[in-house]
Amino acid sequence: MKPTRRSFSTALGLALVTAGLAGCGFQLRQTNDFAFKTLYANFSTTSPLGVELRRNLLGAGRIELLTEPKQMLKADAILDILSEERRQVAVGVNAAGQVRELQLHLRVQFRLRTPQGVDLIEPVSLAQQRDLSFTETAALSKEIEMGILYRDMQTDIVQQIMRRLSAVKPRNLPAPAPATVPEVTPAPGSAAKP
């Protein structure tokens, strides 16, 4: 099969586009590299946020996620979800006083620390908000849409947490405490060797 002029020009075009994208700093999203090998999940792994966060952490495939409280001291780092708040605020009403527009808010506060209590990421609050038009005649479909919007905000926040966790550098992790070697004293009457 002989290469045609058209296939050659297509290959050349693709090579130029790839070189152009690489030259401007474009890079495909890669798996996260973490400075820690074990992470204790100090949050509910059965809540919607906890399930998605656990799935993303395990999906990275580079860390071991610990969930048993007795394993906390064995972890390199501890991820605390300090709070998760979902709110609905009415921002628009009609002349009859019926709600026509809602704003949905999701705020999550978290921190990353060592088992010794050193903050690797100080408490951070991440927030998302979405607008939702509302009518009483389509209340059921608006409830479904509200659930979809909350899941979307939750996914955005989980991705932000993952990016912040991968930004922790090894130098931020405290060095393990040196093991103390017990001092051996010679028995009485034995000479110490030089």
- Residue 145 domain boundaries: 30-169
- Note whether residue 193 is domain-resident: no
Around Cβ 134, how many Cβ atoms within 10 Å? Answer: 19
Note if the pTM is more than 0.95: no
| CATH label of the domain that carries residue 114 | 3.30.160.150
What is the sign, positive or negative, of the torsion defined by CA atoms of 115, 120, 125, 130? Answer: negative
- Judge whether residue 84 has pLDDT over 80: yes
- Note whether residue 131 is domain-resident: yes
Q: What confidence category does residue 98 fall into, taking pLDDT thresholds of 50, 70 and 90?
A: confident
Provide the number of structural domains found in the chain.
Answer: 1
Of 108 and 173, the one with more pLDDT: 108
Separation between Cα atoms, residue 34 and residue 116, nearest integer Å: 19
Coil, strand or helix at 5: helix
State the average pLDDT over residues 134-140: 76
- Judge whether residue 50 has pLDDT over 50: yes
- Note whether residue 70 is domain-resident: yes
- Note whether residue 4 is domain-resident: no
Of the candidates 12, 9, 79, 6, the residue with the CA atom closest to the CA atom of residue 39: 79
- Note whether residue 2 is domain-resident: no
Kindly report the average pLDDT of the chain as a whole number: 81
- Note whether residue 113 is domain-resident: yes
Q: What is the arrangement of strands in the sheet containing 77-93, beginning at the earlier edge strand? A: 64-66, 38-42, 77-93, 99-113, 119-133
- Judge whether residue 176 has pLDDT over 70: no
State the average pLDDT over residues 24-38: 67
State the average pLDDT over residues 135-157: 88
103-124 pLDDT tens trace: 999 999 999 999 998 999 999 9
Separation between Cα atoms, residue 151 and residue 147, nearest integer Å: 6
Q: What distance, in Å, lies between the first and last C-alpha atoms of the chain?
A: 81
- Note whether residue 10 is domain-resident: no
**pLDDT at position 185:** 54
- Note whether residue 122 is domain-resident: yes
**pLDDT at position 194:** 46
Around Cβ 50, how many Cβ atoms within 10 Å? Answer: 17
Separation between Cα atoms, residue 43 and residue 106, nearest integer Å: 17
Q: What confidence category does residue 59 fall into, taking pLDDT thresholds of 50, 70 and 90?
A: confident
